[in-house]
Structure 1
Amino acid sequence: MNKIELVTATLEASLNTKIERHFDTLDTDPDVLKQLLADKRSENTRRAYEKDVNDFLQTMTGMPAVPDNVLEFLHLEERQAVSVVLKYKAKLIDKGLKEATVNRRLAAIKSLVEMGRKLGVCHYALGDIKGEKVAKYRDTTGVDAGTFERVLQQCDRATLAGKRDYALLRLLWGNALRRNEISQLSVRDFDPLTKTLRILGKGRGTQSETVDLGTATVQAIADWLEARGGNQSHDTPLFTALDFANSGHRLTGDGIRKIVVRHSENAGIKKQMSPHRIRHSAITAALDATDGNVRKVQKLSRHRKLDTLMIYDDNRGRDQQDITEMLDGMF
């Protein structure tokens, strides 16, 4: 057989090969929950979906989610499935769970059903099941700049922990970052020369974005890194724990929350504080400083929808209070 005949025979053999040789198309009992979780980039999202699906099946079958009872649910007729989910929703409401929690658990079940449809093991939808009405971002209150300055003053910048906390708090305020955005930062993401920081924004997967930093924040981060010393490769976390058990490890979102709470309490703030409360505070302060320029402040907050910022602006303006005072003074 010459070279041309060999090539021809090889091509014919490839064309005649059944697709099952390379792709398993005969999986009639797929692990739908496993596939659903694998389809989510965020570890937090995966944990939340798994928890909610487990709660649903534990409540309705007495067993946590396993492939068998997941498929049993997905193989129901539509009227049966809708009835089961409506009964589950009623149980959640009877427990007194908040509307947002009920909606989140329903969303997890709907996602499970949608994945089942994609995999060909489910032939119904749950579009007739409606969620509870929720007022989004109702509470956007925070603290003013003067109050937050008291929080900064609680950081003893003569100590390593104080330098870290001061840089962290300035970053929370100056760039209105979320705690997970800060927790994921590495040394390579910080560029003191261009005064920029590369972050992984919420809902953007592995697509990073670059934000500009204020001069004081750049100096604070640089001071922290210099004081920390040691081996700081590009992959080294930007903010690390300093306690004996976790020293050098990446500072977690909960660790950031505890830092905020501790310094806020030391500053005498009675309001429950958190990294997200500082984000609310920074956005509101920016709206005040720009006389409600929501498009400009959107560059800071990175909200995709301008409507979300409008809620901040409405709450900041206290328009309802102004109208109430006007009516109250009419007689």
Structure 2
Amino acid sequence: MGKRDYALLRLLWGNALRRNEVCQLNVRDFDPAGKTLRIFGKGRGTQAEAIDLGTATVQAIADWLEARGGNQSHDTPLFTALDFANSGHRLTGDGIRKIVVRHSENAGIKKQMSPHRIRHSAITAALDATDGNVRKVQKLSRHRKLDTLMIYDDNRGRDQQDITEMLDGMF
């Protein structure tokens, strides 16, 4: 369970994936040699896109698949439930949410967490790390409209306060 959850959390954080994008993944979508994952993004129907994975995320997913063992045909879900009643079935969106909530609480995070909050935090952290390079971060977030991404950028800083302080010093 720990290896599955670790791979899942790394994927949510490192690639800012949507919960539904993770739910749809099959073993065939993971290419460890190419360090890519084929996802079906929001509003894209049957149109897939390949995203790049970080080395640590590739290793975490490979470790999970090795520990899982058993039948891993190409049509097998990448992430499966491990509880007694649903073992081997595709992990649902609610199952992913429960994993995120459980680990967040165990880590002492007081704020209510969700897969979308991880996505939001990852996008905001990427904007901080790139000094607000919205074009680069748009590739990570896969937002079609730059206006949507700008909401994250506007919320990350205290630009208005900085400008007010600057103007206040010019008086």
Asked if these proteins are the same fold (TM beyond 0.5), I'd say yes
SS at match of 1:329: helix
Distance 1:325 1:172 in 2: 37
Q: How many aligned residue pairs are there?
A: 170
SS at match of 2:85: coil
1:271, distance to aligned residue in structure 2 (A): 1.0
Deviations 1:12-52 (A, max 9, x none): xxxxxxxxxxxxxxxxxxxxxxxxxxxxxxxxxxxxxxxxx
Which runs of 4 or more aligned residues in structure 1 lie more than 2 Å from their structure 2 counterparts after TM superposition? 320-331
Percent identity of paired positions between Structure 1 and Structure 2: 95
Equivalence for 2:10: 170
Distance 1:309 1:276 in 2: 14
Deviations 1:37-83 (A, max 9, x none): xxxxxxxxxxxxxxxxxxxxxxxxxxxxxxxxxxxxxxxxxxxxxxx
1:326, distance to aligned residue in structure 2 (A): 5.6
SS at match of 2:87: coil
Distance 2:103 2:168 in 1: 40
1:321, distance to aligned residue in structure 2 (A): 3.1
**TM-score scaled by length of structure 2:** 0.95
Distance 1:251 1:322 in 2: 45
1:325, distance to aligned residue in structure 2 (A): 5.1
Which stretches in structure 2 are left out of the alignment for 5+ residues? none
Structure exhibiting the larger radius of gyration computed from Cα positions:
1
Equivalence for 1:195: 35
1:176, distance to aligned residue in structure 2 (A): 0.2
Distance 1:260 1:306 in 2: 28
Deviations 1:139-174 (A, max 9, x none): xxxxxxxxxxxxxxxxxxxxxxx0000000000000
Deviations 1:124-144 (A, max 9, x none): xxxxxxxxxxxxxxxxxxxxx
Higher relative contact order (CA 8 A, sep 6+): 2
Distance 1:271 1:323 in 2: 30
1:329, distance to aligned residue in structure 2 (A): 7.9
**TM-score scaled by length of structure 1:** 0.50
Deviations 1:229-277 (A, max 9, x none): 0011000000000000000000000000000001001111111110000
1:330, distance to aligned residue in structure 2 (A): 9.0
Q: Choose from 26, 36, 55 the match for 1:186.
A: 26
Q: CA RMSD in A?
A: 1.6
Of 264-273 and 247-256, deviating more is 264-273
Distance 1:322 1:261 in 2: 35
1:189, distance to aligned residue in structure 2 (A): 0.3
Distance 2:161 2:72 in 1: 52
Which stretches in structure 1 are left out of the alignment for 5+ residues? 1-161
Deviations 1:187-233 (A, max 9, x none): 00000000000000000011111100000000000000000000110
Distance 2:147 2:40 in 1: 23
